[in-house]
Every structure is written in structure tokens, then in C-alpha cells.
Homo-oligomer: A and B are copies of this chain.
């Protein structure tokens, strides 16, 4: 657990290993995919870069990192335990199987929140000019994590095209998160998605901080310093 002086040492560059030393950190990353049939699927835009950057830096800070990832074209950072999944339900099960041991959970995955109600086992032949897909809501993974009796320090992400602060604060409170990192999406100049850069607005109960546009690795480092500080504060008051 990080103490203030460990944080100071880290911030002044003496020891980046110590800040999350020995903590179990679980990170979800990438999109999920929901099959419509064996060929077609519904997915979300997500390169996984932010989650993989967080996993890499958390490992460098001394954490035992489990990365639960949907399909992306990235390799697991050295020393990180990678669990590959495809659907939201598979991601939920992989996360929940290890969550009791997690000190910190960071949900960066862009999970698909609806699945096809009746996925077809054979490829659907196109015929009609119009068609409809019936969808069924998926489980809300981060809300499930944050509602556990002994929940880990839970960090969510919010990608929004409008009302960023309002949605982020609502999600922080409604889902009982400890922290939320929000970013704009849908605009090339604003980072996110496939970009190597991003900027974040970070909110927690009683505080906020803006992390300016920079590389996702730099951003991961800045966010994990905030997480370590808040985790230490929360542990101290429990």
C-alpha cells in the first residue's frame, strides 16, 4: 500500500517500483464482441491501448496485474497475466473468478452492453431489404464489481460524445465507483479509440483532476499515481 512518502519518492523519480508494490490489480481492456451469427457480430470501438498501457505501468509500479482483454491486436505487457475473452458474459466471468483477491479494479473495456437475443448457429442469408435484430441487455460488469461486499478500489472509464462531466459524475455515484476517468470520443482531434494519445478528466468523491493530452503510457502513469493516492487514503480511513 502506498504511503505519502512513497508517493513523494515516486513523484520525484526515485522509485517507480514501490507505488503499487504487492497489490493485486485487475484491469479490463478492449472491446467485447456479441455474435449475431457465426460471421456477424456487434462490437464497440476500442483499441485496448489505454488498458494495456495501464497494465504495463501498474506492473512496473510493482503490482501483480491480471489483464482481462477482448479481441485486440496488442501483445500482453511483460509480467502481466492475460486472459482473453470475446463476449461480455465471458469477460464478466473471467473478472469475477479473480475479483476476491483484487485490491484495485480498473475497467477500461468498452463492453458491448446489448447482445443478440437469439444468435443464430448458422450464417443468416440476406434476403429482405429491411431486417431487425432483437437485443437483450448484458450484465453491467463494473456495477457488479462495485456492489461486492468487499469490493476492490473500483475505477471506471466513461467515453462520451456529449455531457462528459454530467455523465461521468452520474456514473461515479450511480454505480458506487471510487473513481472515474472520462474522455471525449468521436472526434479525431480528441484522442481516444485507436489513437496513441488521450486526455482524461478524473473524478472521485470530493475531488477531480484534469490530465492533459499526452501519450497513453504517460497518461497511465499519471492516472495510477492518482489511484495509488486515493487507494491509500481510502485504506487509511477504513
Chain A 40-51 near chain B by CB (<8 Å), digits 1 or 0? 111111000000
Complex: A121 Cα to B186 Cα, angstroms: 9
A39 touches which one: B73, B121, B131, B185 (CB < 8 A)? B185
A132 touches which one: B40, B112, B132, B162 (CB < 8 A)? B132
- Within the complex, the shortest CB–CB distance from A139 to chain B, in Å, comes to 11
A134 touches which one: B40, B126, B132, B160 (CB < 8 A)? B132
Number of copies: 2
Q: A133 at the A/B interface (Cβ < 8 Å)?
A: yes
Q: Are B43 and A41 in contact (CB under 8 A)?
A: yes
Q: Are B45 and A41 in contact (CB under 8 A)?
A: yes
A162 — which chain B residues lie within 8 A by C-beta? 122-123
Q: Are B161 and A122 in contact (CB under 8 A)?
A: yes
Chain A 91-111 near chain B by CB (<8 Å), digits 1 or 0? 000000000000000000010
A73 — which chain B residues lie within 8 A by C-beta? 73
Q: A10 at the A/B interface (Cβ < 8 Å)?
A: no
Q: A210 at the A/B interface (Cβ < 8 Å)?
A: no
A43 touches which one: B38, B40, B110, B160 (CB < 8 A)? B40
A136 touches which one: B129, B136, B137, B186 (CB < 8 A)? B129
Chain B residue with Cβ nearest A140:
B126
Q: What is the interface of chain A, defined by CB distance below 8 A to chain B? A: 36, 38-45, 73, 110, 112-114, 117, 121-123, 126, 128-137, 159-162, 185-186
The 6 closest A-B pairs by CB, nearest first: A73-B73, A38-B186, A131-B135, A113-B126, A129-B137, A122-B161
